[in-house]
Structure 1
Amino acid sequence: MKKAFTLMLLASSLSFTAQAQEHPVTQAQVQNYPEEYLNVVVYGNTLRKKLEVQLDAGEGESPKNYIRDADGKKREFASVVAVMNYLNTQGWEFVEYTPDSDGKHDYRRFLMKRHVAM
């Protein structure tokens, strides 16, 4: 299971790399844009087979930091890749995945970043 998930993350990170290369940015441009980071925690909902996503952009984890739809309801995703694709449309890039060290948790945690224009 962990190997399949790791392969899935690797494949999606490669697609993010391919997408990023479509719009080349010079090194000088990158240095002018500070980066912001986002800690993403994906929780499984075993009753509905859907995933909920909690975000931490430096304020700390809080129930109000879930990805929500236009009506304010928690947005649910079918897979971790769907979460990553959604965040990619918001300008976020995958940085790293933090594996569950003991295999007892039902969440996945990863780090995203994006450049912020000054």
Structure 2
Amino acid sequence: MQKPFFLMIILIISFSYLSHAQNVGGVALEDIKSTYIHLSRVGSTFKSKIRVSVDFGQRLRDDRLQKSFIVDSDGRPIEFNSMIDALNLFDLLGYEYVDSSCVNEDWPVQYLLRKKKSEMIKEEE
């Protein structure tokens, strides 16, 4: 009984540590103040890892897609195992799934997320 609980605590601490090192265009993920964000899958369907582009309303030029990738503290793009991996990270950061859109009927590649109501109340206090 104690092992699963201990493991869960370690995972939560690990995710919170990792999220502090991750940013988009110089903004730390935990410092994004936008109510809504848009996640897009970027990468080849033949690769096992993907990159994720985050739009939270920041100003980007068309030729600067790289600036919307989630990167580590050294500026290298973070690669996720899947979009679910990225969605789980944003769930830990206080966002919830709203909708997804599909490029074709089999592959949803864009996700709309919203800050959880409990997170918005915490920010107001």
TM-score range relative to shorter protein: 0.5 to 0.7
Letter of the 2:48 partner, please give it.
Answer: K
Greater RCO structure (CA 8 Å; 6+ sep): 1
Give the match for residue 111 of structure 1.
Answer: 112
Cα drift, residue 94 of structure 1: 0.6
| Dislocated runs of 4+, deviation >4 Å | none
Give the conservation status (yes or no) of the 8 Å contact 1:45–1:52.
Answer: no
The answer on whether the counterparts of 1:92 and 1:112 sit within 8 Å (CA) in structure 2 is: yes
Task: Please list every run of 5 or more consecutive structure 1 residues that lacks an aligned counterpart in the other structure.
Answer: 1-33
Once residues 79 and 92 of structure 1 are traced to their aligned partners in structure 2, the CA distance between those partners, rounded to angstroms, is: 17
**Count of residue correspondences:** 83
State the identity as a percent.
24
CA contact (8 A) 2:34 2:56 kept: no
Give the whole-Å Cα distance in 1 for the aligned partners of 2:72 and 2:83: 17
Conserved? CA contact 1:94–1:112, under 8 Å: yes
Q: TM-score, normalised by structure 1?
A: 0.58
- Between 37-46 and 71-80, the greater mean CA deviation after superposition: 37-46
Residue 44 of structure 1: how far off its partner (Å): 2.6
Q: 1:14 corresponds to which residue?
A: none
Q: CA RMSD in A?
A: 2.6
Read off the aligned partner of 1:52 and give its amino acid letter. R
Could you tell me whether the CA contact under 8 Å between 2:41 and 2:53 is conserved in 1? Answer: yes
Q: Tell me the CA shift for residue 112 of structure 1.
A: 0.6
- Does residue 1:88 correspond to 2:87, yes or no? no
Aligned residue in 2 for 1:36: 35
Q: Report how far residue 60 of structure 1 moved.
A: 5.1
How far is 1:102 from its partner?
Answer: 7.2
